[in-house]
Amino acid sequence: MPLQITGALGDPDLIRLPWEVPLQDWPQRHLVDLPRGISRHVVRFARLSGKVYAIKEISERYAKREYRLLWDLARLDAPSVEPVAYVAGRENGLDAALITRHLQFSLPYRAVMSGTLRPDTLTRLLDALAVLLVRLHLNGFYWGDCSLSNTLFRRDAGAFAAYLVDAETGEMHPMISEGQRRGDIDVAHTNIFGEMLDLEAGGLLHPSIDPMGTAEDIVARYHRLWDEITQSEIIEEVDWHRVEQRIRRLNLLGFDVAEMMVRRKVGTGRLIVRPKVVDAGHHQRRLLRLTGLDVEENQARRLLNDLDGFRVAKGLRHEDEAIVAHRWLAEVFQPTVEAIPAELRGKLEPAQLFHEILDHRWYLSEEADADVGLATAVTSYVDNVLVHKPDEKALLPDEDAAQAAEEPPAVSGGLRGAGEAAQ
């Protein structure tokens, strides 16, 4: 079978990569060095036309399967990497390959660590992983291999947002069964216990962190969140405010409630109330609607808080929300991000930069016992904090300089469009 690339390709140059060569032997001119997690397969990052793609060498059966599962997750807006294509029919009996788009500003959990993994950092990683697993289960997705290693993390205003990066063992169902859900939790417990033991053996685990306690902690965090989202609540009719309180709690967790199921408990004056949660992203959607900024959930909450503060400070309480948001974007957010030197903007994404500047302003103001202002905070943050941070964006060298004089050899085969079945 000749070489075939099946997918929603945005870059036809993908077919010109050296698919006849094993991935581990690809010339450096095609690759970019980025932090990689632990994987049972060979994974490389290729640079094309200013974009970075993750390429995983895997059998054709699993490449097709994972590609389709990732598309299913994308259609559901679940937090996962974006599928691009899968490659079959490589020469010399080489395995197929799965191509996904590199998730900008994301890091594997080992790259999040600085020296040893501190307890507070681990707590934030586990929280993010619990939210990810709950979101997947709400969408009917059984992961089958939940672990820190199969997850990418993006900074999210003091917390982390987690993304599924490996769906090889996953299954999509109309609704996940209780057995599948508990099976996923058992796998997560086992995998995370093993990962903590591995870190401990390498001297990368803080002495106060217990591997078994950590594995049990992720299970407890998951169950607390799942129960908050799905459990029925029995209330007296006069206590309807408790329903409103629960909706607010779910909104704070980032979940929207589409409707409430309410029925009377037989033989009593009590009501059984169960919320129907539709999806995470409550604050994300509001910020996107108001400003066009597409950011993580906690970042959105922080930016919305600043927007609300701007409304009060400017005496705009009675002004239309969309008009206030436009002014805040033009007068506060954009000037702050643009004040960062261009060569330093790749270190963090704009929303995270803005969040950290707000934090820095707060600390400076506490020390000065007076508001130092945003301009002073930006200057101090750049000079004393940002310059020391590593780049978290995939920074690409100049494409012309990166390309070798000799073009890569052409490969035989055709380019297939999205939706076409592989033969």
Query: What is the number of other CB atoms lying within 10 angstroms of the CB of residue 371?
Result: 12
Q: Which residues of the chain have pLDDT under 70?
A: 1, 37, 113-117, 237-238, 240, 254-261, 267, 269, 275-280, 392-423
Question: Exposed e or buried b for every residue in 72-91, given b needs 16+ CB within 10 A?
Answer: bbeebebbbbbbbbbbbbbe
Residue 414: the pLDDT is 33
Task: Report the half-sphere exposure of 179 (CA within 13 A, side-chain side).
Answer: 0
pLDDT at 357: 94
Structure tokens at 170: 């996953």
CB 364 within 8 A of CB 380: yes
3-state secondary structure 217-232: HHHHHHHHHHHHHHCC
Q: So what's the pLDDT on residue 263?
A: 76
Whole-model pTM?
Answer: 0.73
| Token pair 């609540």 in the structure block, residue | 233
Q: What is the reported pLDDT for 412? A: 32
Residue 26 has what pLDDT? 93
Instruction: With CA atoms as reference, report the closest residue to 381 among 403, 355, 411, 404.
Output: 355
57 touches 22 (CB < 8 A): yes
In order of their start, the domains of the chain are 4-101 (3.30.200), 106-230 (1.10.510.10)
CB 230: neighbour CB atoms within 10 A? Answer: 14
What pLDDT is stored for residue 58 in this prediction? Answer: 94
Using alpha carbons, select from 8, 2, 10, 26 the residue that is nearest to residue 408: 26
Confidence (pLDDT) at 395: 46
- Quick one: pLDDT at residue 409? 34
